[in-house]
Amino acid sequence: TANVSVVDLTCRIQKSATYEDIKAAIKEAANGELKGILSYTEDEIV
């Protein structure tokens, strides 16, 4: 059984960004500075 949680993220940003831009930034953080703390998947796990 996978150990997962869901986050409903709401944010205010200073410049325009698409949904794809935001997903890419989260993926980048999950693979970089937040590796081991944050992970990202598009799998249907919940």
pLDDT digits (tens, 9 = 90+) for 21-36: 999 999 999 999 999 9
pTM of the model: 0.70
Rounded (5°) CA angle 39-6-16: 75
Largest CA distance in the chain: 40
Q: Between 37 and 33, where is the model more confident?
A: 33
Q: Do residues 30 and 43 lie in contact, with contact meaning Cβ atoms separated by under 8 Å?
A: no
